[in-house]
Amino acid sequence: MPLALVSLYDKTGFLPFAQRLVQAGWTFLASGGTAEALRSAGIEPLDVAAYTGSPEMLGGRVKTLHPAIHASILARPTDADLAELEARGWKPIDMVIVNLYPFEMTAADPSAGADEIIEQIDIGGVALLRAAAKNFARVCVVCDMTDYDAVAGEAEAGGISLETRQRLAAKAFARTADYDAAIARWFSRQEAQPSGSFVVEGRVERPLRYGENPHQKAFFVMPADSGKDQGPLGGRVLAGKELSYNNILDLDAAWRAVLDFERPAAVIVKHLSPCGAAEADELTQAYRLALECDPISAFGGIAAFNRPLDAATAGALKDLFLECIAAPAFEEEARRLLASKKNLRLVEADPALYARVRQELRSAAGGILVQEPDRGDPADTELRVVSERKPTEEELAALRFAWTLVRHVKSNAIVLARGRAAVGIGGGQTNRIDAVRQACERAGMRAKGAVMASDAFFPFPDGVEAAAAAGVTAVIHPGGSIRDDEVLAAANRLGLAVIHTGIRHFRH
């Protein structure tokens, strides 16, 4: 009778699989909780400790790490190997059914301590999978419950094919590779400056129709430890066409930006940069103010909201052509109102997604650039009023809003704001004065009485002079230019209030 070794952390779906194997003539070798589960189903397994002649050690940490187990798995179907097993009283193990301790899930839990995470590093299970996968010529290895039905079907039909054993071996090696990569990644995060190999791993969540342009192939990869039902932005697409490469990029930019605001907020993004953003007491008002910033650029853009999308806001959205809408949830009436837009993608996104992101990756020059995300100003950042005139309370509120938004705009970046709404945005320019002029031009008459934020310092006085000419009354920027004194002198001469942050927020 063929023998299956079973060692499972997650026993979901296993007992029906085991019953089918028993009917097909299989017996089991197991220990601990897996053996108890089999007995509860009326299946009596051989006990691992009895088979090896060695009791479990260290509170169960050592069970299957024994020559009797690994020789029984690794034995080739040769007379010499089988005779050596028989001489020691051991049997060939023909199937290994193993899933691993949930290291990835534990490491992703913010409340888990280092000791708890390290305890979830599986040793014996990985060794079993690798041994069985190496010997796929004789042994079937099962590490994924989705394969239970197919394996049972072949066992019932008379035997598991070499093709299936090789396919499952490849799957087992992929699983152990992902598992070890997750462990290596966690340890590298504990170092102030990682050294040695840098591990990048994930799973292909979906192929995409094409990349930025139709002649470019593309697909979307998610971390291996993400949930199977998760999609872009850690959520799911509720309606509309399949997301494109460019949609996902713009969704990322919009979702990152809108989550930075505490009050109900809306952000509209086009080509990776905000073209409108606002906070308000109600979501609908926030959207209307965001749209007013640049309604021409908003056409064909992506809108993101930091509150569940309600019917009133959905009604306001119906008149604008958008590619996607992202929100933490969508009220049923809102979905019904937007249902007539068959191509509009509705993305239910995870508000906690970016809190879990520890690294950002970008390809460059045949390699990978890795950095921590820009999460805004450090906690000890001090906003210093450096001008002769202090900002009013109204100006200060608008300056804080503009400073929050400007770090999401492509450098060189300028944001003009009134109240808690952007009225003009200039970004992606090769010099700062052009970004100022662009923002002022888009604001038009609304620049009068507005405030201005710049993602980096002003290298010359021309930026603040152009802003003042358009009617801007206050400015916030990092400072730090060798011409700060000239810039500040111009601001004082023009009656501008100026705040230095000491923090730069380039976004390339």
**Helix residue ranges, H only, 13-161:** 14-23, 32-40, 48-52, 67-74, 79-87, 103-107, 114-119, 124-134, 148-156
The rounded distance, in Å, linking the Cα atoms of 340 and 209 is: 24
Q: Count of CB atoms within 10 A of residue 450's CB?
A: 27
The rounded distance, in Å, linking the Cα atoms of 104 and 136 is: 27
The rounded distance, in Å, linking the Cα atoms of 76 and 86 is: 13
- CB burial of 278-315 (b: ≥16 within 10 Å; e: otherwise) equals bbbeebbbbbbbbbebbeebbeebbbbbbbebbbbbbe
DSSP structure string for 5-35: EEE-S--TTHHHHHHHHHHTT-EEEE-HHHH
Contact between 463 and 432 (Cβ < 8 Å)? yes
| Contacts of 289 by beta carbon, 8 Å cutoff, 6+ apart | 266, 276, 278, 280, 419, 420, 421
The rounded distance, in Å, linking the Cα atoms of 479 and 498 is: 10
Map tokens 């690994």 to a residue.
Answer: 70
* HSE (side-chain half, CA atoms, 13 Å) at 395: 21
CA angle 207, 213, 215 (to 5 degrees): 75
Q: Which residues are catalytic?
A: 134, 271
The rounded distance, in Å, linking the Cα atoms of 362 and 130 is: 33
CA-only gyration radius of the chain, Å:
30
Contact between 401 and 420 (Cβ < 8 Å)? yes
| Contacts of 125 by beta carbon, 8 Å cutoff, 6+ apart | 7, 9, 98, 99, 100, 101
The rounded distance, in Å, linking the Cα atoms of 322 and 414 is: 24
CA angle 12, 14, 17 (to 5 degrees): 140
